[in-house]
Copies of this chain bind each other. A is one copy, B any other.
Amino acid sequence: MRLYAADAIGSTREATMLPLAPAYEAAFREIDADLAQFLAVAEIDGEVVGTLQLTLIPNLTFVGGKRALVEAVRVAARHRGRRLGETMLLWAIARARDAGCVLVQLTTDARRDDARRFYERLGFVPSHVGMKLVL
């Protein structure tokens, strides 16, 4: 949770005081129980320094091709430049390919220029507009 809150955008929407809000644990249990969900973490010396969530989504378009959605990619600021993000993304892409997905998709906040360039280096094409409706 500290990772999700550790930048200017995330800090406005997470609750990291201990004990953690029970909603985090409930969400974790739901992700853990869902066979279409994969949560990856990068650890260094037992500390979680990176996260990524992968969701496999059956889809009728692209001739019934399955899609993979990548969410919640974060790397701790002091561990950047060590290719942890790249390692996690390459894992997610390989996992999606193994599952028979036809594409991997994600959205990145339009303000995160570095993130967009990072994904472009990995082959992602910024062909779409990502739209959000907060409920």
Contact = CB atoms under 8 A, between A and B. Distances in A.
A59 to B, nearest CB: 6
Interface residues of A, number: 66
Given A27-B64, A123-B133, A129-B126, A71 B57 contact: yes
Given A129-B107, A131-B126, A132-B124, A13 B61 contact: yes
B105 A132 contact: yes
A105 B129 CA distance: 11
9 contacts: A28-B60, A60-B72, A61-B72, A105-B133, A109-B128, A109-B129, A120-B131, A124-B132, A126-B131
Interface of A: 1, 4, 10, 13-15, 21, 23-28, 30-31, 34, 36-37, 39, 51, 53, 55, 57-67, 69, 71-72, 93, 96-97, 101-110, 116, 119-120, 122-135
A66 B35 CA distance: 16
Given A27-B66, A58-B30, A135-B97, A129 B108 contact: yes
B102 A130 contact: no
A107 B128 contact: yes
